[in-house]
Structure 1
Amino acid sequence: MPHHILFLCHPDHGHVIPNLAVVAELAGRGHRVSYLTAESMAELTSNAGATTIRYDSRYKQADFHSVARDPWYLLSLLLDESARMLDAAEAELGEDRPDLIVYDTSILHAGRILARKWGVPAAQLIPMFASNESFSYLNAMFNPDGAEGALPGWVHDMLANIAALAARHGVDAPPQELWWEIPDFSLVNIPREFQYAGDSFDERFAFVGPCVGDRGFLGSWEPPGSGLPVALVSFGAVFNEHPDFFRTCVRAFTGAPFHAVMTVADGLDPAELGELPSNVEVHRWVPHVAVLAHASAAVTHGGMGTVMESLHAGRPMVVIPTSAIDAVTARRIAELGLGVTMDPAEVTAERLVAAVRTVIEDDAVRAAAERMRGHVHAAGGTARAAGELEKYLTRSR
């Protein structure tokens, strides 16, 4: 039986792209899919088969240096996005209520408040590490040693703001519940084997791994004719305004026995990097999955999208985390032997190319990446994700 399913996600490529294949799969199964996001993502979501509902987002106007360094700034920004989404959902959908709300974890307040207000079941999309009673992603960011520590003072201010937003929509629920509850169902875009404390997560979580679909909207790419080992270099679509880092990468690979494919998204004009050697190419966008199919390694800040794409292809990584969020991923990659990590302050051209050589030549690292590749594919991906949402919807009605 076809259903109306509403997706909610802010306009971040690292959050929208991981669920586009699921949207297309659900639409292909006959469901009516609506997608609430910003104008900048409308073409992507519409092409995936959804009816796009636009909201007045301020996300792309944010100071992403502050986003990387100041969690209060980031969480306040996302709460404001949630507020704007709630207003748009009410205005655009009216009485046309969906059968299921599927919300990205970064704007969980919008999803959880709307579900309570409309009396509609909701499922959470988690394109990163999940949290439960045994593992707190938030705690891992602030207490890298894993010990339970005191949360910063701004958490109390955040709870007050959540309570105010809920009250504005007539929802009487404790703000702690709206922020920290473990919902009835979550789709997690990593395999259980990559999750911290993975065995502690119960049936409320479906670890489906990355949902890799058609990425033609990012352009095309062909491997070089040189036969050199390929290395993908990407700092994602948000934390990528690092011209000095990319210049260091160009110096690192100049004359080195590798072919580097660098993507800079909208954070940098490739022309700023000047004339490039023949074994270095720079793009704003390119389908990473196409590059990784031919690559020997990836260099990344630790964004989960690139990490999962790399592991989907069984490629080891050099991780240079630029935020507390990335640092959690970097630690996990090091723990599992899937690559090496580097402090951004200590990156030089010589050290970077040496790290790439290390992960390519280390048999244990390559074997660990190949094992994780098996776990990624066994997780089920797109087809399983769509099926799990259908099963949850059936259980909830």
Structure 2
Amino acid sequence: MSDHFLFMSAPFWGHVFPSLAVAEELVHRGHHVTFVTGAEMADAVRSVGADFLRYESAFEGVDMYRLMTEAEPNAIPMTLYDEGMSMLRSVEEHVGKDVPDLVAYDIATSLNVGRVLAASWSRPAMTVIPLFASNGRFSTMQSVLDPDSAQVSAPPPRFSEQMELFGLGALVPRLAELLVSRGITEPVDDFLSGPEDFNLVCLPRAFQYAGDTFDERFAFVGPCLGKRRGLGEWTPPGSGHPVVLISLGTVFNRQLSFFRTFVRAFTDVPVHVVISLGKGVDPDVLRPLPPNVEVHRWVPHHAVLEHARALVTHGGTGSVMEALHAGCPVLVMPLSRDAQVTGRRIAELGLGRMVQPEEVTATTLRRHVLDIISDDAITRQVRQMQRATVEAGGALRAADETERFLRRTRRH
């Protein structure tokens, strides 16, 4: 039986990739998938056989680094609200009578608009969570605002209380009006608080904070990696030196000073360094390069990580998961608040280290990387986590769980 799945995500690669991998597997099984995201993702969506539905993203053309590091604390949630409303308009204009059987929305990027759409259609909804999940014992939001208070001892805050934390209390009446306009009679707090009945978490349970406290509503499927087409190929060097991959992701990749420090750190050092720049920095500004350093705008990380002995990263959950899936230790240089939470988890589980950006020099970076490569205890811990990450099941299990959830909803 073929079903229609609607996926929703803002156009951030770290959020789109996991959902896209699940969508690809569902398409492979004969289902119809519509994927709602920004224009930049059109080719990637179409390449997996899903229907691409564009919405006008509030993030298109925005300097995300400045937004995340210099803007007022409520700027991102307010932008997410605008983002969600734009998604909602595009979907409602497009769907017509072809109402999807299930709505799968990215937890971090659409402010529960997926839940609103599903309820207005009397359809089930689920979330795709490409970062740490939250429950009554651990709060991702609290961990970002105040890392010391991430472990929750009191009942988690209601939706309106969360909005107040970000100075967004004025949004609550607007959301209440939205619910009424879609025929939803529940109060905002009752409707928008708490998790969905089903949630795909793109981490292994062993990496999740308070992982053993999450109930059957959460499926910890590990990283959903997909094919990642269009990134080219990579061949390991013939030198035999340990390979180190360096990437600051797609948001924090405009920091030329960091990339120059990376090159200086490993000049004439017996390691082979692969630096992935994305669109942030022109590779030519880093040349000439020493023979043991190569620089690319785009490189298939999975191909490099299969051979790498260390990943240096800004701390994006997707990058960290991809490294652990390949059995590669991690050095986190956190460039955002949520990356601090990820870096702390890496350090406390013995999977690598965290170094604060202000502490990074060529000398300290070189020391940390060489120590990680030679640390047998880190190697052992990473191998254990690699097993947990692979055994979590990835996109195949995620598709299984998604189909199973839809079948359960039809029986009730």
**Bucket of the pairwise TM-score, normalised by the shorter protein:** over 0.9
Q: 2:322 aligns with which of 306, 309, 318?
A: 309
Aligned residues, how many?
Answer: 397
Give the deviation of 1:160 after TM superposition. 4.4
Q: Which runs of 5+ in 2 are unaligned?
A: 155-160
Aligned to 1:226: 239
Give the partner amino acid of 1:60: E
Give the deviation of 1:26 after TM superposition. 0.6
| Cα distance change, pair 160–328 in 1 and its aligned pair in 2 (3 A) | farther
Q: Using the alignment, how far apart are the partners of 1:350 and 1:383 within structure 2?
A: 43
User: SS of the residue aligned with 1:217?
Assistant: coil
* 1:131–1:137 Cα contact (<8 Å) kept: yes
User: SS of the residue aligned with 1:193?
Assistant: coil
TM-score by length of structure 1 reads 0.95
Per-residue Cα deviation, 1:138-185 (whole angstroms, up to 9, x for no partner):
011112112669973514245345445445545444444555321100
Give the partner amino acid of 1:128: L
Task: Confirm whether residue 126 of structure 1 aligns to residue 126 of structure 2.
Answer: no
**What pairs with 1:54-69 in structure 2 (closer than 5 Å)?**
54-69=54-69
* 2:78–2:168 Cα contact (<8 Å) kept: no
Q: Which runs of 5+ in 1 are unaligned?
A: none
Per-residue Cα deviation, 1:303-325 (whole angstroms, up to 9, x for no partner):
01110000001111110001111
Q: Which has the larger displacement, 169-178 or 2-11?
A: 169-178
Aligned to 1:74: 76
Task: Confirm whether residue 196 of structure 1 aligns to residue 196 of structure 2.
Answer: no
Q: Which has the larger displacement, 169-178 or 239-248?
A: 169-178
User: SS of the residue aligned with 1:145?
Assistant: helix
Give the deviation of 1:68 after TM superposition. 2.1
Task: Confirm whether residue 142 of structure 1 aligns to residue 145 of structure 2.
Answer: yes
Q: Using the alignment, how far apart are the partners of 1:24 and 1:188 within structure 2?
A: 17
Give the deviation of 1:267 after TM superposition. 1.7
**What pairs with 1:205-244 in structure 2 (closer than 5 Å)?**
205-244=218-257
Q: 1:184 aligns with which of 182, 189, 197?
A: 197
TM-score by length of structure 2 reads 0.92
User: SS of the residue aligned with 2:370?
Assistant: helix
Q: Using the alignment, how far apart are the partners of 1:71 and 1:370 within structure 2?
A: 38
Q: Using the alignment, how far apart are the partners of 1:204 and 1:254 within structure 2?
A: 49
Q: Using the alignment, how far apart are the partners of 1:378 and 1:178 within structure 2?
A: 34
Q: Using the alignment, how far apart are the partners of 1:282 and 1:30 within structure 2?
A: 40
* 1:9–1:103 Cα contact (<8 Å) kept: yes
Q: Using the alignment, how far apart are the partners of 1:357 and 1:164 within structure 2?
A: 56
Q: Which has the larger displacement, 153-162 or 292-301?
A: 153-162
> Segments of 4+ in structure 1 off by > 3 A?
147-153, 157-180
Task: Confirm whether residue 18 of structure 1 aligns to residue 21 of structure 2.
Answer: no
| Cα distance change, pair 162–230 in 1 and its aligned pair in 2 (3 A) | farther
Task: Confirm whether residue 3 of structure 1 aligns to residue 3 of structure 2.
Answer: yes
Give the partner amino acid of 2:14: G
User: SS of the residue aligned with 2:219?
Assistant: strand
Give the deviation of 1:275 after TM superposition. 1.6
Q: 1:341 aligns with which of 354, 372, 383?
A: 354
| Cα distance change, pair 161–314 in 1 and its aligned pair in 2 (3 A) | farther
Q: Which has the larger displacement, 150-159 or 39-48?
A: 150-159
| Cα distance change, pair 232–160 in 1 and its aligned pair in 2 (3 A) | farther
* 2:179–2:185 Cα contact (<8 Å) kept: yes
**Cα root mean square deviation, aligned:** 1.8
Per-residue Cα deviation, 1:259-287 (whole angstroms, up to 9, x for no partner):
11111111222222232111111111111
Q: 2:390 aligns with which of 371, 374, 377?
A: 377
